Amino acid sequence: MTAVNNPVLTGFNPDPSIVRVEDDYYIATSTFEWFPGVQISHSKDLVNWRVLTHPLTRYSQLDLRGRPNSGGVWAPSLSYADGMFYLIYTDVRDWTGIFKDARNFLVTAPHIEGPWSEPIFLNASGFDPSLFHDDDGRKWLLNMVWDHRPEEHNFGGILIQEFDAEKGALVGPVTNIFRGSELGLVEGPHLYKVDGWYYLLTAEGGTFTTHAETVARSRDILGPYELMPDNPLITSAGVPELPLQSAGHGSLVQHRDGTWAFAHLCRRPQANGRSILGRETSLQKIVWVDGWPRLASGGKTPLDRFEAPELPEHPWPEPIRRDEFDTTHLGPHWQAPRVPIDEQMASLTERPGFLRLYGRESIVSRFEQSLVARRQKSFHIEASTCLDFHPENFQQMAGLVAFYSTDNFYYLFLTHAPHSKRCLGLMRCERGKVSFLIEKEYPLDDWQQVCLKLEIKNDRIRFFYSRDGQQWSAAGGEEDASILSDEHALPIGFTGNFVGVACQDLAGTRQHADFDWFEYKELAD
């Protein structure tokens, strides 16, 4: 066996849906308001992983403009049958009130990297859909049902309905097959058939400290389903010393040799209980005992080491640490809030060797702003960039961001001020309240380019600026990085911190900023 540290997908990678196709493993994870939608990671040995693709790349598949923070794509389900990949996903338009406006869609592709089809609308009865391919050729859609009635529990159970692939539509009756266990908040269904039994895996207990994964089974796909003895399969509840917290919401995969593994989400909270990296993906070895899946380690708590099956080692090239912007397209680790990274926002060809961002709406806009970023994947990082930017008025800004959402971020930026044609400012937004952390912006009029840097170490963040990228001066003081977390969001959140670059022109004249490079470094603690 080859042992690998958990999480295997670090940083914001929640709700893993894992599938094996021949010798390739794929995990689809939620992307919420980040575009393009659904992140698919790829491995051949379950040890080495790479970000491979994002299937939802155009507005006709996913239009996130106006979506609330932590809205958008929830809990995708990736499967393979009949020589095709099937991807089911929820697009959540609103989620914070008594109602959930959540629409479920299906796209397909002959290859994992596409082309992916136009979406088929399925239903809007709840979220977390998945597609089960039965061995008789029939296909079934599952999703949790949201019940807004005050006298009922909001998490109303797991619905199932047949999907007719030829018609591209749901057919037949809708059946509620499982209303959950005593853990409550049943969601995230995945269905498997093993030795004539239908096994239903569901997430329960909410996605924070009491999170868990429940198992039930039935001889009939429509039930009744019996709960696994000594349920749940996995949980971190009640064991705060575990390095992996919030374990739950996952899916099973069978290896070529017949053995099994379980991919699940988890958190690694810091001392103050906040998880700046968001929900991540871990793997656990599974054994079958008396007809039920169990953790091979015994018990119910997740291990921070995973024993991978004996597979040929398959490392990938090391991710680029310093992006020189010398290609025609950004790599798959770059995403943007709510909108495509297209020529309306960004160009790698207008000034070769630079990323040009065109200023658009404000950094708190939920519609069309110019911001591109990548996940924070480690507790101790540096992110830096060098930009050429000449603002003409105070409504134009560009710079470096640590960005959790439009309500929680830090922004080290250049702008125009009465005392300086170009000066440095530092902005913090905490729970929607914006404050400026430098009393009077530092003038940098005679600098051709300005280099900016941030350092995050656990729950602290610091900012720097430089003329040459070698000698750095502090900008402001040390700040609280843990505001960039689900636990600090209002009312709660489901994503993780990103670092990247941004440009605004609130006057609508599309003043641009040219970024020479962007460097992301993971540092030793």
CATH number at residue 150: 2.115.10.20
Name the domain boundary from 189, 216, 238. 238
Please give the average per-residue pLDDT across 399-405, as a whole number.
98
Q: Does residue 481 sit in helix, strand or coil?
A: helix
pLDDT over 80 (residue 476): yes
At residue 2, the pLDDT reads 85
Task: Decide: 374 and 497 in contact? Cβ < 8 Å.
Answer: no
Task: Decide: 185 and 144 in contact? Cβ < 8 Å.
Answer: no
Q: Is there a domain that residue 467 lies in?
A: yes
Q: Is there a domain that residue 301 lies in?
A: no
> Is residue 105 domain-shared with residue 231, that is, in the same domain?
yes
Rounded to 5°, angle at Cα 517 from 496 and 444: 100
Output the domain CATH number for residue 367. 2.60.120.200
Q: Is there a domain that residue 6 lies in?
A: no
> Is residue 222 domain-shared with residue 341, that is, in the same domain?
no
Question: How far separated are the first and last CA of the chain, in Å rounded?
Answer: 29
Q: Both tokens of residue 20? A: 């094996």
At residue 281, the pLDDT reads 98
Count other Cβ atoms within 10 Å, centred on residue 172: 11
Cite the beta strand spans of 82-136 per DSSP E.
84-94, 101-109, 120-123, 130-133
* 410 half-sphere exposure, CB direction, 13 A CA radius: 30
> Is residue 44 domain-shared with residue 154, that is, in the same domain?
yes
pTM for this model (two decimals)? 0.96
> Is residue 353 domain-shared with residue 460, that is, in the same domain?
yes
Q: For the CA atoms of the chain, what is the radius of gyration? A: 23
> Is residue 340 domain-shared with residue 463, that is, in the same domain?
yes
Identify the domain containing residue 512 by its residue range: 322-522
Evaluate the CA torsion angle 94, 97, 101, 104 in order and state its sign: positive
> Is residue 216 domain-shared with residue 327, that is, in the same domain?
no
Tell me the C-alpha distance between 68 and 360, whole Å: 19
Please give the average per-residue pLDDT across 261-273, as a whole number.
97
Tell me the C-alpha distance between 190 and 188, whole Å: 7
> Is residue 459 domain-shared with residue 352, that is, in the same domain?
yes
Name the domain boundary from 238, 273, 300. 238
Whole-number percent of the chain with pLDDT over 70: 99
Tell me the C-alpha distance between 85 and 56, whole Å: 13
> Is residue 33 domain-shared with residue 175, that is, in the same domain?
yes
- Which tens digits make up the pLDDT trace of 294-320? 999 999 999 999 999 999 999 999 888
At residue 438, the pLDDT reads 83
Please give the average per-residue pLDDT across 437-459, as a whole number.
89
pLDDT over 80 (residue 441): no
pLDDT over 90 (residue 1): no
Q: Contacts by 477-483 with C-beta closer than 8 Å and gap 24+?
A: 477/437, 479/410, 479/428, 479/437, 481/276, 481/402, 481/456, 481/457, 482/270, 482/272, 482/274, 482/276, 483/404, 483/408, 483/428, 483/430, 483/431
Does the annotation count 187 as an active-site position?
yes
Of 325-329, 371-375, 446-450, 473-477, least confident by mean pLDDT is 446-450
Choose, from 15, 388, 455, 486, the residue flagged as catalytic.
Answer: 15
> Is residue 166 domain-shared with residue 55, that is, in the same domain?
yes
Q: Is there a domain that residue 300 lies in?
A: no
Average pLDDT, the chain: 96
Which residues does 195 contact at the CB level (< 8 Å), separation at least 6?
A: 291
Q: Both tokens of residue 523? A: 């540092």
Count other Cβ atoms within 10 Å, centred on residue 283: 29
Task: Decide: 486 and 275 in contact? Cβ < 8 Å.
Answer: yes
At residue 6, the pLDDT reads 97
Q: Is there a domain that residue 492 lies in?
A: yes
Q: Both tokens of residue 366? A: 């939920």
Q: Is there a domain that residue 308 lies in?
A: no
Name the domain boundary from 184, 210, 238. 238
Please give the average per-residue pLDDT across 95-121, as a whole number.
96
Nearest to 334 by CA among 516, 495, 498: 498
> Is residue 223 domain-shared with residue 102, that is, in the same domain?
yes
Choose, from 45, 91, 128, 187, the residue flagged as catalytic.
Answer: 187
Please give the average per-residue pLDDT across 190-202, as a whole number.
98
Under the banding of pLDDT at 50, 70 and 90, the label for residue 446 is confident
Under the banding of pLDDT at 50, 70 and 90, the label for residue 443 is confident
Q: Is there a domain that residue 253 lies in?
A: no
What does the buried/exposed string (b/e) look like for 326-343 if buried means 16 or more CB atoms within 10 Å of the residue's CB?
eeeebebbbbbbbbbbee
- Count structural domains, the chain: 2
Please give the average per-residue pLDDT across 426-438, as a whole number.
95
